[in-house]
Structure formats: C-alpha cells, structure tokens
C-alpha cells in the first residue's frame, strides 16, 4: 500500500503542494471515484488511478535505452552541460541514473534506470559484463597490436601490491574502414576503467579519433534511434541484463 500523493509524485505529476491542489480540484480518481484526500492509501499494483483522464500505470522500475550524442554528460545533474536526463523529454526522470558513464565526447548506447540492484550488478567488477565499442583510429592497426589488446596491455594502472595492473583480456575484431579511410575496430571489454579504450589504444601506439558504444551485455544499440533519441527497453532486453 502507498499514499496517493507519494504514488502521484513518483509518477512525476508534480510537487506535494501541486498534488494536493489537484486532488482538491477533483482531477484525480481512484477506481472511478474522485479522490478526496491526498494521503489516502492505495494498492498501487491493483487500484486504477486516473489523473486528468489519463490512467497512471504502476511500474516498480523503469528502463531506457538512449543513443547518447557527443557533448552530453552522463550524469543526473550538471551546472554547465546538457545531461542525459535532459534528453528524456516528457518522461518522469525522478530516480533515474545512467548505468556507468560515457565520456562527454563518446557516443552510443547508454542504459538508464531506477533499478539500483541492476545498476550494481552490471557495474560490479566481479560480473565482467561485456561492453562493445566501435573505435575509429588515427593510424592503421596491425594484427600484432590487435593481439596485444586481446591479451591485455599496460595502461599505467598500479595494483595495491605495487605491480602493474594489466587490462583484462579483450575481444577485438577489425571492421570496414570509415568514410574518411580510417581503420575501425570493434573492441569488447569486460571491465570499466577510466578512459580505458583510449588508454589501451595509446598503449599500442595509436589514438582514438571516434568512439561509440554499440552493446552492453546482450543489449545492442537500436539502429533506429538517432543521436539523442531513446526508447523503453523490451522485456527480453531487461531479462537479458538481469541474467548477465
């Protein structure tokens, strides 16, 4: 059971004062009856709540896929830049957080949810969830450099023991050259270190010119989404993330 005003607030209807006024003005119905008190208790999973003629559907958690454009920050708040939450137009973004971060200049797949358990699971270092990136390079890349990336490279990290912290083995495949004639690889990582893709390519004497995440776990970036567009994850996609 949940208070009506709390339920409406979780739906992004308004502030507590605004919700109180809505109830007072008779625009909220519960099971076809006009609600009289904002603090009345409802069964959020079974009662039908209607606000201004619109049925409000209870969701325990929300899951979105966003095709993040460059120059957008993977954060919930930022005083200077547009954040990924700003791109979810007309959505209730209360409680939503990005699952991990993409650099400001990095584009592609970003998952946003208010399911804290799933976020923790996907970001846990012990889970080794796949993250695949499309990487456009400054220079040609050799088969020997691809082998180095797959075996693990030294990107300057040090373990607590004082030993070099080599990256975990990755997967790397060569793609078609881009429209500018640059080499393209698809690099799959199983960890999430700071600027890891860029630092790994620097470790083999190359430089990332363009970076885009195309997959996380079994969820692939929807090719129908333009930069800045988003959609809800399907039930199959949500289950695949939970079963990683």
> Does the annotation count 10 as an active-site position?
no
Integer Cα distance of 170 and 190 in angstroms: 7
Integer Cα distance of 102 and 134 in angstroms: 13
Alpha-carbon distances of 89 from 18, 72, 75, 83, 204, rounded to whole Å: 21, 15, 16, 12, 41
Q: What is the number of other CB atoms lying within 10 angstroms of the CB of residue 63?
A: 21
> What are the E-state strand segments in the chain?
2-3, 28-30, 33-34, 41-42, 49-51, 54-56, 63-68, 97-98, 107-113, 131-137, 171-174, 184-189, 208-216, 219-220, 230-232
- Helix (H) or strand (E) run with residue 84 in it: none
Q: What are phi and psi of 242, to 5 degrees?
A: -70, -25
From the candidates 10, 47, 103, 154, give the one annotated as an active-site residue: 103
Q: Which residues are catalytic?
A: 103
């Amino acid at each position: 059971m949940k208070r009506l005003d709390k339920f409406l607030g979780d739906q992004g209807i308004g502030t507590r004062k605004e919700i109180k006024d809505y109830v007072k003005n008779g625009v909220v119905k519960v099971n076809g009856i006009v609600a009289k008190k904002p603090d009345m208790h409802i069964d959020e999973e079974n009662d039908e709540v209607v606000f201004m003629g619109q049925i409000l559907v209870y969701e325990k958690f929300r899951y979105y896929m966003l095709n993040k454009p460059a120059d957008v920050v993977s954060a919930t708040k930022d005083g200077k830049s547009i954040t990924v939450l700003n791109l979810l137009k007309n959505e209730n973004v209360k409680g939503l957080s990005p699952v991990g971060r993409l650099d400001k200049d990095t584009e592609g797949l970003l998952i946003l949810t208010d399911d804290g358990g799933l976020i923790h699971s996907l970001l846990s270092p012990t889970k080794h969830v796949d993250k695949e990136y499309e990487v456009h390079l400054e220079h040609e890349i050799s088969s020997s450099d691809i082998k180095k990336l797959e075996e693990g490279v030294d990107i300057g990290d040090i373990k607590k023991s004082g030993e070099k912290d080599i990256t975990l083995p990755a997967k790397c495949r060569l793609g078609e050259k881009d429209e500018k004639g640059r080499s393209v690889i698809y690099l799959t990582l199983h960890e999430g270190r700071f600027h890891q893709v860029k630092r790994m390519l620097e470790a083999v004497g190359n430089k990332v010119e363009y970076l885009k995440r195309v997959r996380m776990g079994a969820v692939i970036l929807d090719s129908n989404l333009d930069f800045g567009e988003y959609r809800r994850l399907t039930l199959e996609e949500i289950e695949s993330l939970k079963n990683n």
